[in-house]
Amino acid sequence: MTESKISKELFQPAHIQESEHEKILRPSLTFMQDSWIRIRKNKAALVSIIVLSLVIIMAFIGPLISGYTYSEQTTSNASLPPKVQGFDNMPFWNGKQNIGGEEVDVYKQKNVPEGTYYWFGTDTLGRDQFTRVWKGTQISLFIGFVAAFFDLLVGVTYGMISGYSGGRVDNFMQRILEVASAIPNLVVVILMLLVLDPGIMSIIIAIAMTSWITMARVVRGQVLKLKDQEFVLASKTLGGSTPSILFKHLLPNVSGVIIINVMFSIPSAIFFEAFLGFIGLGIPAPQASLGTLISEGYKTLQVLPYMVLYPTLVLCIIMIAFNLIADGLRDAFDPKMRD
């Protein structure tokens, strides 16, 4: 820096120097814009969003592109290994299986017509595994998103009313939560299966009856911290109604916590449904979820390992992706993580 520049800065008026120091160098951003900037830096969360989007797309178009239905049985083509066009020389996808220490072309052995391909193989009843895996993914995701919907509808509303009301109302509502949380989910599912016919509806009702409890407690805790803040007191002073304060002022301020908990509740519901399917309380045949497919494949694990491999792989991808996205959102919505 030259002497003229230094002397010019030294002899500038005080108010001009202060205004230079008070300039805001960082552009003004909304909460969501700032959060998006932070989540873009989280490579694991971004990759998980892309992978999860592909899984969701395949859950809907997968059953349509294979040429088979999830319930179509061809007993003559039962227990066929995976075979994909153009992969005739690649292991695992060439339609060959190791039988008695010798690699055998099972498609030729069973006289399967030329040009017949089963990308994930077939089960013991001759049903296409590719179609059933993606149909099962569709059902599992549906159950997970329905559980998240009940979290939002019941859990958020219950937690906000309980936290904002306080006093006896809060104590009474929390006692109800304690009673509801004391009943194991598995007991609720068994009771639903006894009252209702086994199927998606009974599982959804059982999961929805208890899945919102954690959300209600988290939202209540956040509302208890915020309800005595200045912006809430100002709204009360201006004559704001209780519903207006809850959903116009408090709800936007707890939205980050709600989104994070929803992202954790979806994989929890999917895993719980898969657990039910594995122990035989899941979706009845011929429909299938990822849990029932894993349960069926486990019975023939040593002979037909591909039957358990693909549904397990899809389930693991869904669980990991949702958890990484939830971790990324938690960091993005935390103001302390700001650079």
Q: How high is the pLDDT of residue 85?
A: 84
Greater pLDDT, 80 or 285: 80
The hierarchical CATH code for the domain 37-66+128-333 is 1.10.3720.10
What pLDDT digit, counting tens, does each position of 178-232 carry? 888 888 777 877 777 777 777 788 888 888 888 888 889 999 998 988 888 888 8
Flag whether pLDDT at 7 surpasses 80. Answer: no
Q: How high is the pLDDT of residue 172?
A: 92
Q: How high is the pLDDT of residue 50?
A: 93
The pTM assigned to this predicted structure is 0.81
By C-alpha distance, which of 92, 142, 138, 51 is closest to 309? 92
What pLDDT digit, counting tens, does each position of 261-281 carry? 888 888 888 888 888 887 777
Q: Give the burial class of 323: count Cβ atoms within 10 A of its Cβ; 0-12 exposed, 13-18 middle, 19 or more buried.
A: middle
Domain ranges of the chain: 37-66+128-333
Helical spans, DSSP H, in the chain: 3-10, 14-21, 31-40, 43-65, 106-109, 129-150, 157-165, 167-182, 185-195, 200-226, 230-237, 242-244, 251-253, 255-278, 290-299, 306-332
